[in-house]
Amino acid sequence: MTAVEREHDSNTSRAAANGLTLPQVLFLGLGYAGHRTRFQNLRAHTESDPRIRPIYREITGWVDGGRIERLPGIPATIKGRARATLEASAITQLPRPDAIWSSASEVTVPHLWAQLGPLRRPLVCDFDATVEQMEEQAPIYFDRPSKRGGRRLLSQFFERVFFSRVTVFTPWSNWAADALRRQGIQEHRIRVLPPGIDLDLWRPLFCRERANQKKVRLLFVGADFKRKGGELLLDVFQARFRHRCELDIVTRSPVQEQPGVRVHRAEPNSPELRHLYQQADLFVLPTRAECFGIAAVEAMASGLPLIFGDVGGARDIVDDGVTGWVIKPAAPALADALADAVIRQDLLPAMGQRARKVAEQRFDGRRNDALIVDLLLEQAELFSSARAWRAFR
């Protein structure tokens, strides 16, 4: 048994000794893309919370060697959707939890019978973008045309069905919140709350020794190299900055090393990845399609100024001209920002210090995820009181 488990068991025992039962909360999270890191962080910050009995269920969308995955003649995308829908059935668990947090929407729709009548429980929806916003980015984000006609209407219908069962929305950015408002979601059901990270793990190393003080060390982190603007960065780097900068790239895509460019395969939240952040001077992510960008938050917590693509919720993260540059994801804008950073490289540490302060103010994972628990408990209490009043009447 881990120390966290022992602490939680101790809290549960104390509650039982006092004749109390801790509220049970189901956390149903997506286990792929940036949502995987978000769910890992949320779990780390909430599993020892003394106020709840948490249950965690992850939607992976794929199980190697599983029965669904071994079905012949069926496209992998369909099998992945079937697997995710099956895993989302965790939302139907009986006995019912006291509150539910979920970052999954469409795949839970077949299971929303469990959110009807006396089975219904408060549901907090954590998300970074709506169907409308994702389809606007689809040609770059998914490498396919945006859905049109019946396919678009069907996706929006599923989203509306899910949203009708949601009690409170916690969009990651004001950009995502604005999409809810356009759909007519009432303001009291919207609470903008960005995902946070562990600021004790992601820390700056401002006073490091550098073997080469003349070159600016750039860092790019993005699993999807093309979508995140990696190819754009490489082209600009090779054309104008290979003699003035050095570049570290962290990605899962096949990228070849070259003079001045190092390629790494570091896992999310790993010591190797944190070390790369601490050794860099400037974080560069000219992303072409993005909803939020947790890697940018990690950079700020590590004391790095940023060059970030002006898409999605970018302006909720980077204060242009203060903690970095928010740019159009195109070669001229990227080259201008890099040139400005190289010319003013003596000012980069001060910008990085401001970025760290902003991370402490906006993206403290322990504080933000404690607010999630506050919200779940608040809604559970409201639902409990409403049920008691209906029973009394």
How far apart CA 56 and CA 100 sit, in angstroms, is: 10
Q: How far is CA 371 from the centre of its chain?
A: 16
Interatomic CA distance for residues 7 and 48, integer angstroms = 7
* Sign of the CA dihedral with 87 first, then 92, 94, and 96 last: positive
For residue range 156-204, what is the model confidence (pLDDT) as tens digits? Answer: 999 999 999 999 999 999 999 999 999 999 999 999 999 999 999 999 9
pLDDT at 205: 83
Which residue type is seen at 63? V
| pLDDT at residue 7, as a whole number | 46
Count the alpha carbons within 13 Å of 355 in the hemisphere toward its beta carbon: 32
Q: Among positive and negative, which fits the CA dihedral 287, 292, 295, 298? A: positive
pLDDT digits (tens, 9 = 90+) for 309-318: 999 999 999 9
Say if residue 137's pLDDT is above 60: yes
What was the pLDDT predicted at 391?
54
b (16+ CB within 10 A) / e for 16-30: eeeeeebbbbbbbbb
CATH number among 3.90.226.10, 3.40.50.2000, 3.40.50.1370, 3.20.20.10, domain 3-196+365-392: 3.40.50.2000
Residue-level pLDDT at 389: 59
The set of residues, in sequence order, having a beta carbon less than 8 Å from that of 75 and lying 6+ positions away, is: none
What is the per-residue pLDDT across 373-384, written as a single tens digit (0 to 9) for each?
999 999 999 988
pTM of the model: 0.88
pLDDT, position 32 = 81
Closest CA to 372 of 54, 94, 21: 54
Helix ranges (H only) for the chain are 3-17, 34-46, 76-87, 131-141, 149-164, 174-182, 230-236, 271-279, 294-301, 331-343, 348-362, 365-392
pLDDT for 328 equals 96
Among candidate residues 383, 378, 374, 382, the one with its CA nearest the CA of residue 45: 374
Tell me the angle at which helices 294-301 and 348-362 cross, rounded to the nearest 10 degrees. Answer: 120
Could you tell me the two tokens for 176? 């995502």
With b for 16 or more beta-carbon neighbours within 10 A and e for fewer, the 55-83 pattern comes to ebbbbebeeeeeebeeeeeeeeeebbebb
Sign for the pseudo-dihedral over CA of 320, 324, 329, 330: positive
- Token pair for residue 246? 């050095």
Say how many Å lie between the first and final Cα of the chain, rounded: 46
Averaged confidence pLDDT in the chain = 91
Once rounded to an integer, what is the mean pLDDT over residues 95-116?
95
Segments making up each domain of the chain, as ranges:
3-196+365-392, 216-362
What pLDDT, on a 0 to 100 scale, did the predictor assign at position 80? 94
- Answer whether 3-196+365-392 and 216-362 agree in fold: yes
Residue 59 confidence (pLDDT): 96
As a dihedral over the C-alpha atoms of residue 150, residue 154, residue 156, residue 162, rounded to 10 degrees, the angle is: 170
Tell me, what's the pLDDT at 33? Answer: 77
Does pLDDT of 25 surpass 80? yes
Q: Which CATH architecture has domain 216-362?
A: 3-Layer(aba) Sandwich (3.40)
pLDDT value for 2: 43
When pLDDT is averaged across residues 242-260 and rounded to a whole number, the result is 94
Report CA-CA distances (Å) from 64 to 29, 73, 316: 19, 17, 37
Mean pLDDT, residues 44-54:
95
Which residues contact residue 270 at a Cβ distance below 8 angstroms, ignoring those fewer than 6 apart? none
209 pLDDT higher than 90: no
Q: Which residue, 144, 201, 194, is CA-closest to 170?
A: 194
